[in-house]
Amino acid sequence: MTGQRFDLVLFGGTGDLAARKLLPALYTRHRFGDIDAASQIVATARQNLSDKQFRALMREKVVPHVPKADYDDAAWQKFEAQVGYVGTDANNAKSFAQLRARLIDEPERARVFFLATAPALFTHICAHLAAAGCVTPATRVVLEKPLGRDLESSCAINNAVGAIFAEDRIYRIDHYLGKESVQNLLALRFGNAMFEPLWSRAWVRDVQITIAETVGAEGRGEFYDATGVLRDMIQSHLLQLLCIVAMEPPASIHPDAVRDAKLQVLRALKRFTPNEVATRTVRGQYKAGAVDGQPVPGYLDEPGIKPASHTETFVAIKADLGNWRWAGVPFYLRTGKRMQERRAEIVINFHNVPHAILDVSGSARTNNRLIIRLQPEDGLSLDIQAKTPGEGMRVQSVSLDLQFEDELKARRLDAYERLLMDVIRGRLTLFMRRDELEAAWSWVEPIMHAWAAAGEPPKAYTAGTWGPAASSALIGRDNLAWLEEA
Ligand code: NAP
The residue ranges of every structural domain in the chain are: 6-144, 177-414+433-485
The pLDDT assigned to 412 comes to 84
Quick check: is 237 catalytic?
Answer: yes
- What number does the ligand 1 atom closest to the CA of 145 have? 44
Does residue 376 have a cis peptide bond before it, meaning omega lies within 30 degrees of 0? yes
- The arithmetic mean of pLDDT across residues 14-41, rounded, is 97
How many Å lie between the centroid of ligand 1 and the Cα of residue 304? 17
User: For the chain, how big is the Rg over CA atoms in Å?
Assistant: 24
89 lines ligand 1 (CB under 6 A): yes
How many Å lie between the centroid of ligand 1 and the Cα of residue 266? 30
How many Å lie between the centroid of ligand 1 and the Cα of residue 94? 21
- The arithmetic mean of pLDDT across residues 385-411, rounded, is 89
Q: What is the pLDDT of residues 151-183, one digit of tens each?
A: 999 999 999 999 999 999 999 999 999 998 888
Residue having the nearest C-alpha atom to atom 40 of ligand 1: 17
Mutation probe of ligand 1 site: the residue of 9, 11, 16 with most atoms within 8 A of C-beta = 16
Beta bridge partners of 208: 332, 347
Q: Is the separation of the CB atoms in 332 and 475 below 8 Å?
A: yes
Using CA atoms, how far apart are residues 94 and 90, in angstroms rounded to an integer?
10
Q: What is the pLDDT of residues 182-227, one digit of tens each?
A: 888 999 999 999 999 999 999 999 999 999 999 999 888 999 999 9
Apex 396 CA angle, 392 and 399, nearest 5 = 145
Residue having the nearest C-alpha atom to atom 38 of ligand 1: 17
The pLDDT assigned to 1 comes to 45
How many Å lie between the centroid of ligand 1 and the Cα of residue 25? 17
3-state secondary structure of 283: strand
Residue type, 135: V
Using CA atoms, how far apart are residues 126 and 111, in angstroms rounded to an integer?
14
- The arithmetic mean of pLDDT across residues 24-50, rounded, is 97
Residue having the nearest C-alpha atom to atom 6 of ligand 1: 12
The pLDDT assigned to 13 comes to 98
236 lines ligand 1 (CB under 6 A): no
Residue having the nearest C-alpha atom to atom 39 of ligand 1: 17
Residue having the nearest C-alpha atom to atom 22 of ligand 1: 45
Buried b (16+ CB within 10 A) or exposed e, 361-379: eebeebebbbbbbbbeebb
Using CA atoms, how far apart are residues 151 and 448, in angstroms rounded to an integer?
11
The H-or-E segment that residue 346 falls in is strand 343-350
Mutation probe of ligand 1 site: the residue of 10, 21, 46, 213 with most atoms within 8 A of C-beta = 46
How many Å lie between the centroid of ligand 1 and the Cα of residue 22? 12
Q: Is the separation of the CB atoms in 31 and 423 below 8 Å?
A: no
145 lines ligand 1 (CB under 6 A): yes
CB burial class (10 A; 0-12, 13-18, 19+) of residue 411? exposed
- What number does the ligand 1 atom closest to the CA of 91 have? 18
47 lines ligand 1 (CB under 6 A): yes
Topology of domain 177-414+433-485, CATH: Dihydrodipicolinate Reductase; domain 2 (3.30.360)
CB burial class (10 A; 0-12, 13-18, 19+) of residue 261? middle
Total residues belonging to the chain: 486
pLDDT over 70 (residue 2): no
The catalytic position among 30, 128, 175, 237 is 237
Mutation probe of ligand 1 site: the residue of 9, 11, 17 with most atoms within 8 A of C-beta = 17
Q: Is the separation of the CB atoms in 140 and 133 below 8 Å?
A: no
pLDDT over 90 (residue 8): yes
45 lines ligand 1 (CB under 6 A): yes
121 lines ligand 1 (CB under 6 A): yes
The pLDDT assigned to 410 comes to 82
Residue having the nearest C-alpha atom to atom 32 of ligand 1: 118
46 lines ligand 1 (CB under 6 A): yes
The pLDDT assigned to 382 comes to 95
Residue having the nearest C-alpha atom to atom 21 of ligand 1: 45
3-state secondary structure of 287: strand
90 lines ligand 1 (CB under 6 A): yes
Using CA atoms, how far apart are residues 197 and 249, in angstroms rounded to an integer?
12
DSSP annotation of 432 reads: B
Q: What is the pLDDT of residues 146-155, one digit of tens each?
A: 899 999 999 9
Q: What is the pLDDT of residues 284-319, one digit of tens each?
A: 999 999 999 999 999 999 999 999 999 999 999 999
Q: What is the pLDDT of residues 92-139, one digit of tens each?
A: 999 999 999 999 999 999 999 999 999 999 999 999 999 999 999 989
Q: What is the pLDDT of residues 237-279, one digit of tens each?
A: 999 999 999 999 999 999 999 999 999 999 999 999 999 999 9
Using CA atoms, how far apart are residues 422 and 174, in angstroms rounded to an integer?
13
Note the CATH number of domain 6-144: 3.40.50.720
14 lines ligand 1 (CB under 6 A): yes
How many Å lie between the centroid of ligand 1 and the Cα of residue 424? 21
How many Å lie between the centroid of ligand 1 and the Cα of residue 125? 13
Using CA atoms, how far apart are residues 426 and 420, in angstroms rounded to an integer?
10
Using CA atoms, how far apart are residues 379 and 305, in angstroms rounded to an integer?
36
How many Å lie between the centroid of ligand 1 and the Cα of residue 144? 10
Q: Are strands 170-172 and 140-143 parallel, antiparallel or unpaired?
A: parallel
